[in-house]
C-alpha cells in the first residue's frame, strides 16, 4: 500500500458518509489499512501464527471490528466471496481467515 493506492475520499474520511458505504472498494481499503498500517500483519502472522502469504490475510473477527457491526460484516463477507474478491484461506474452530484476491 502506498500513497498512490489511497483515494482522496479515504484521506478526508468522506467514504463513511456516502450512501452506498461500505462498498467492496471501501472494505478492501479498510482491510489493507489495518493490515499494513495498523499492525494487522504482525498480529495475523506473529501472534495468530497464520502462515505468510503474498496476499493480505484477515479474519471475520477483524472485519467485524473494522466495521463495528457483526451483521454487516457477515453479509459483506458473503457478497465478497460470491464475487471472488476474497477467498477462504484457513478455518479454525472459532475463526475463518480470508485472503484478498482482487483489487
Would you write out the chain's pLDDT as a tens digit for each of its 103 residues? 555 566 777 776 777 777 887 788 888 888 898 999 888 999 888 888 888 888 999 998 888 888 877 777 788 888 889 999 899 999 988 889 999 987 5
Instruction: Round to the nearest angstrom and report the end-to-end CA distance of the chain.
Output: 12
State which CATH number among 3.40.1350, 1.10.287, 1.10.10, 1.10.3470 fits the domain covering 13-100.
1.10.10
Alpha helices in the chain (DSSP H): 8-11, 24-37, 40-42, 60-67, 70-82
pLDDT on residue 23 = 84
Angstrom CA distances, 65 to 5, 49, 84, stand at 23, 20, 22
pLDDT on residue 57 = 92
pLDDT on residue 68 = 78
On the question of a cis peptide bond just before residue 62, with omega within 30 degrees of 0, the verdict is: no
Q: Which residues contact 93 (CB under 8 A, 6 or more apart)?
A: none
Amino acid at each position: 500500500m502506498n500513497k498512490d493506492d489511497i483515494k482522496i475520499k479515504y484521506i478526508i474520511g468522506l467514504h463513511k458518509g456516502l450512501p452506498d458505504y461500505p462498498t467492496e472498494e471501501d472494505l478492501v481499503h479498510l482491510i489493507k489499512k489495518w493490515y499494513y498500517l495498523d499492525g494487522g500483519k504482525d498480529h495475523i502472522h506473529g501472534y495468530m501464527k497464520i502462515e505468510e502469504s503474498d496476499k493480505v490475510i484477515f479474519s471475520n473477527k477483524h472485519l467485524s471490528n473494522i466495521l463495528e457491526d457483526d451483521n454487516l460484516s457477515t453479509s459483506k463477507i458473503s457478497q465478497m466471496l460470491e464475487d471472488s474478491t476474497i477467498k477462504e484461506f484457513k478455518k479454525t474452530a472459532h475463526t475463518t481467515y480470508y485472503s484478498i484476491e482482487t483489487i
